[in-house]
Structure 1
Amino acid sequence: MECTSTNWSGRNLTDEHMKGVSGVLMSNTKLTMLDLSKNRIGDAGAHALEVALAGAVGLQTLTLSCNRIGDDGACAIAAALRMAIAIGWAPGAAGGLKELMLAWNQIGDRGAGALAKALPNKLRRLDLRANRVGNAGVAELFRALPTGPALDELCLQDNWISCEGAKAIAAALPVCVWLHDLQLAGNRIADVGAAALAEAVRTTRSLRRLRLSSNAVGEDGGVALAEALRLSGDEGEGALQSLEVAYNRLGDRTAAAFAVALRQARLQALDLEGHRMSPDAVQHLAVALLGAAIGVASGVGGSSPAEAEELDRACGEEDEARSATAAALAAALAAEDVATIQLTNAEAAVEELHKRREELEEVLREAQDLEWELQAAKAQEAELKRIVEQDQQALDEAQKQAEKAKKWNLLSMGTQKQKALQALKEQMTKQAAGVAKAAAESQRVTSLGGTLEKQAREAERLQRELERDTAATTHAQIMPDLDPEAVRRAIQAVFERWDLDRSGLLSIDEFASGITREATSLEHRDDPAVRAIAAVMAREARERRER
């Protein structure tokens, strides 16, 4: 079932959320009221709502107050309004936007100008308070109002409007035939702006309520407004019923001017709170207020002489009652127990109230920012909890998958280890066979080594014998005249004497030296063979040295 009213105020919504809100708007064709105030919607969020707002032809109230919408966001809203007018908000259509609330944002002249060119014909209330609209933006708005929507209430309170903006308003105000409530409090229109508006108030026949509090209006501006009220009453053209000029800079001159004006004006409410006025001025004003009230109550007329006479008699009685009541009221106003009446506040108190008001507004803004931050923190905390839960779930799932994978890995690793073990066993078997073969070969080599060693020793022995025989043969050839047997004995003696157990032949010098020593030894000095050999060898050695 589609609802006709949606309130999402203070939900900490951001630009990202507006995409979802846009989908809801496009799907709900019966929505008439949408409240998105007190959120964190900026220009991007307004752009996200553009198409959805254009299609919501049944929407009558749109509230985007207390957000962060600037000129770009206002231009997006204006584009949506123009598109909606082209789609279905034409004159005579069943739907159509009637209230557009954009207070407490950051809209300036450019955004206000864009909105001015896109306001639907059925719009009755436009709230732009507490933005940044200046003189140029106000001029664009009031340039569009005479031929644009039948706007009943326009709120421009707490903006950047000065006397130039007030002049632009005053120029268009007489032809804004539908505008009944104009709120300009909290600007800086001053005396010049107030005087311009006073001239417009005198001639306009539609404006019922004008709010000019906290605008730095002085005595000149206050007197101009009072004179405009008096003239409009005299001419019968004025329609203003409520005037608020509280917390300005009005004094006794203004009080006296209002005291005169109230006798002819049609005012039902006058707010003069927060001004410095003397007791005499307050008394005159009180008398005028009382007289205006009695005049309004008894303001009837007749055409016949009898009716005229009756009217004169009644007026005489009313004059007496008015005088007595005025005197009592003046005495009460002068008494100390009512000295705190709003009309007699001191100038210092007025300035202090202005200051406190600005401080309060700043505190409210800070409180709203803190509320947004708190809501954002709560949203972030909830988002973090959700992320932690998701991460925990993901971790649990990952652990399950890891355990499952571990089981498969263990099975796979077991198969691989079995294959590796089988391969290792086969390799060890081959190595054992190789080792056994090597051991056999080593044993055979060891046996061959022993045989070779024996053969080497035998070869060495045969070598020594060969050396001896060769040496004997060699020296026998050198000494052919000697008895071979004697030579052999001599050589044997030399070898035995010096234990000449080495390979290779003795050199001639060594052999000669050995033979010589043998020849001179006691054992062989009588042996002719040894002596002969020694002599031959000495000669050979000498000849060899000489050569």
Structure 2
Amino acid sequence: MDLGYNNISDEGAGNSSLLSLRLSGNKIGRNGGLDFAGMLRVNMTLQELELGECDLEMHGMIGLSTALKNNTTLRSVDVSRALLFSLLEEWAVHFSKMLPVNSSLVELHLGKMGLTDTGMERLSEGLKLNHRLRYLDLRNRVSRDGALHLSKVLKGNSPLEVIDLSSNRIEDPGAEYLSEAICCEGSVLRLSVCRNNISTSGLLSLAGALTNSPTLTHIYIWGNHLEEPVCQAFKELLNTGRLTPEQTDVRPYEVDGHVFLAELFHHLRKHLFFTDVNEQNA
């Protein structure tokens, strides 16, 4: 059931026996978040819950993370753009404690949460002990240090296959940390680093990761500094077939002997694993 953007408030939020419930864009607020946390303690049917842009507050986030410690059916959760007015990032600590004990989540969307490097460090502690999560959405305020913490997670035999780091600020050092981790372990299949202020050295390191990684298939780089060496490298990846146009968001073209990259409107597909699993079951 998709009831997104329907002006539903906390009074309309309640229990459900559905497999999938999407409520993004409704202002359920603190009370609605707590109601859903209570529901998840007893509901054993729901597999997908989308509460992005629902004005969730800290108490609701903590309640949801506590409920997810015991819930064994949810496979995909989206709590993006909660209203969290705290510099301590307590929600990241609670989600970090949830990740090692949750046994069902394969997809977690934490975009637009104001996550910083400090929160990423806390979250990484739980990610290192999680053996289930495959899709992680981290569209936030992470910089090079946060990318370093994430790279350490990837080096620890992480199951993560899809990582969305769009609209952060990891810059060249962050891209290089991730490239090294991807080459070492070879677990990541799809990576988005769009709009991260990455320039030539960082993007070339990612191009090298594509060449050397046995698993990485999709990469999205638009919104960074696409200078000619980068354009040449991605042209070569596309010409050799290491990348196909469907696996990236850029396309090379030439003007007066110089190579440039144009944007293709290919992006990470949301609900990737939840949708795929249910299509296969069907």
Q: TM-score, normalised by structure 2?
A: 0.80
Q: Relative to structure 1, is the Cα distance of residues 279 and 73 closer, same or farther in structure 2, using a 3 angstrom cutoff? A: farther
| Equivalent runs, 1:167-206 vs 2, <5 Å | 167-206=148-187
Q: CA offset at residue 61 of structure 1?
A: 0.9
> Do residues 42 (structure 1) and 18 (structure 2) align?
no
Higher strand proportion: 2
Q: How many residues align?
A: 256
Partner of 1:306: none
Question: Which blocks of at least 5 consecutive residues in structure 2 are unaligned?
Answer: 264-282
- 1:272 matched to 2:259: no
**Per the alignment, do residues 49 and 7 of structure 1 end up closer, same or farther by CA in structure 2, a change over 3 Å counting?**
same
Cα distance in 2 for partners of 1:201, 1:281 equals: 30
Cα distance, 1:262 vs structure 2? 6.1
Q: What whole-Å deviation, never above 9, does each CA across 1:129-163 have from its counterpart, x for those lacking one?
A: 22211212222333222322411211112x11111
Distance verdict in 2 for CA 1:277–1:54, change over 3 Å:
farther
CA contact (8 A) 2:33 2:57 kept: no
Give the share of equivalent positions with the same residue, in percent: 27
* Alignment-derived partner of residue 150 in structure 1: 132
CA offset digits 1:20-60 (Å, max 9, x no partner): x2xxx2xx6x4322222221122232123322221112221
Provide closer, same or farther for how the CA distance between residues 279 and 154 of structure 1 changes in structure 2, counting only shifts above 3 A: farther
In 1, the alpha carbon distance for the partners of 2:188 and 2:224 equals 22
Distance 1:77 1:183, change over 3 A: same
Does 1:140 pair with 2:118? no
What SS does the aligned partner of 1:343 have? strand
Equivalent residue, structure 2, for 1:60: 47
> 1:69 corresponds to which residue?
56
Amino acid at match of 1:135: D
Q: Tell me how far 1:81 sits from its aligned partner.
A: 1.5
Query: Which residue identity lines up with residue 55 of structure 2 in the other structure?
Result: R
- CA drift at 1:278: 6.4
Structure 1 length-normalised TM: 0.43
**Cα deviation 1:388-437 (Å, max 9, x = unaligned):** xxxxxxxxxxxxxxxxxxxxxxxxxxxxxxxxxxxxxxxxxxxxxxxxxx
User: Within 2, Cα distance between the matches of 1:183 and 1:279?
Assistant: 35
SS in 1 for 2:77: strand
Is 1:114 aligned to 2:91, yes or no?
no
Structure 1: runs of 5 or more not aligned: 1-5, 90-95, 283-341, 346-547
Partner deviation per Cα, 1:296-344 (whole Å, 9 max, x = no partner)? xxxxxxxxxxxxxxxxxxxxxxxxxxxxxxxxxxxxxxxxxxxxxx716
From 5, 10, 15, the equivalent of 2:10 is 15
With over 3 angstroms needed to count, the CA separation of the structure-2 counterparts of 1:176 and 1:131, relative to structure 1, is farther
Q: CA RMSD in A?
A: 2.7
* Equivalent residues of 1:247, 1:272 under 8 A apart: no
AA in 2 matched with 1:11: N
1:216 aligns with 2:211: no
Q: State the distance in 1 between where 2:190 and 2:169 align.
A: 19
CA contact (8 A) 1:153 1:181 kept: yes
1:240 equivalent among 186, 196, 216: 216
The 2-side partners of 1:258 and 1:266 are apart by 10
The secondary structure found in structure 2 opposite 1:238 is coil
Q: 106, 110, 131: which is aligned to 1:128?
A: 110
Would you say 1:249 and 2:245 are equivalent positions?
A: no
Greater radius of gyration (CA): 1
Answer 1 or 2: higher relative contact order, Cα 8 Å, separation at least 6: 2
